[in-house]
Amino acid sequence: MVREDIPVALPSGIVCEDVYEVREEHVAKGVGTGVVEVLATPCMIMFMEVTAFKCIERFLPEGFTAVGTGVNVRHRNPAPQGTRVRVRAELLEQRGRVLIFRVVALLGDIVIGDGTHDKYIIEKNRFEEKALKILENVKSY
């Protein structure tokens, strides 16, 4: 059963920006998703998720957090190692515990990637208990 009740309504239109340096551990060659030294798609997505979380964490009641549940982004242009990518996350909508963000990564005025990212507000302890119960039911890895 999905619980939609949440003891907080987040302000609509929250916007956050962060800047990330594209380091060796963020390039496709470094993470093993390719052989080029440009920002890897999984790392771009990580930057977007981190920025979105920073937007909302201060509004969440004690004992609550948010986890990523969906990403729909396009990686449009390369960002070479050593560059600084600006990531912007804007909360578009809250539907109960579901949060929908517009995310964009920019190198100067060039769009590196953009799309949407969904998060779900959870009670941290309950979520961790659920994860442990799932682990108990796993027969092998």
Point out the residues that are catalytic. 41, 49, 75
Helix (H) or strand (E) holding 20: strand 15-21
Backbone angles phi, psi at 20, to 5 degrees: -125, 135
Tokens representing 59 are 């509004």
Tokens representing 135 are 């682990």
> DSSP readout, 99-120?
EEEEEEEEETTEEEEEEEEEEE
Total Cβ atoms within 10 A of residue 53: 20
- Give residue for tokens 């916007």: 15
